[in-house]
Amino acid sequence: MATGASLEDLTYVGMVGIIDPERPQVEEAVAQLKAGGVIVKMITGDAEKTAKAIATRLKIYNTNDLSVSGEDLDHMSAADLHDIVPQASVFYRVSPKHKLTIVKVNFMKFKIFVSHIIF
């Protein structure tokens, strides 16, 4: 944050950090789903670091897991999509079009797919 009439007159006055925490019951819900054998994936429009931080807190993502951006999806062939999408645990910077692609590929791979937004 800065204050001043022009760029040359700006004075640094501080920094602001914002967090939009997930609902309290989400961590338990994810744990119950995983205990029941459900493969949990996170699909979000958030930036990569934000998505991974949230997914790590919820035990959806580990440092060795694959994460894929919407832009990555745009550049994948159909064969790449079928190989890579089922392996990823986090999808970040995705649009509604990308979400539909992810759901279709996972449905074709697993023959069943349940999607629900819990954040």
Please answer whether residues 103 and 115 qualify as being in contact, where contact means their C-beta atoms are separated by less than 8 angstroms: yes
pTM of the model: 0.78
Following DSSP, what letter does each residue of 41-90 receive, concatenated? -EE-SS-HHHHHHHHHHTTS--TTSEEEEHHHHHT--HHHHHHHGGGEEE
Go through the domains of the chain in sequence order and give each one's CATH number: 23-110 (3.40.50.1000)
Percent of the chain with pLDDT over 90: 48
Round to the nearest angstrom and report the end-to-end CA distance of the chain.
29
pLDDT digits (tens, 9 = 90+) for 35-88: 998 888 999 999 999 999 999 999 999 999 999 999 999 999 989 999 998 899
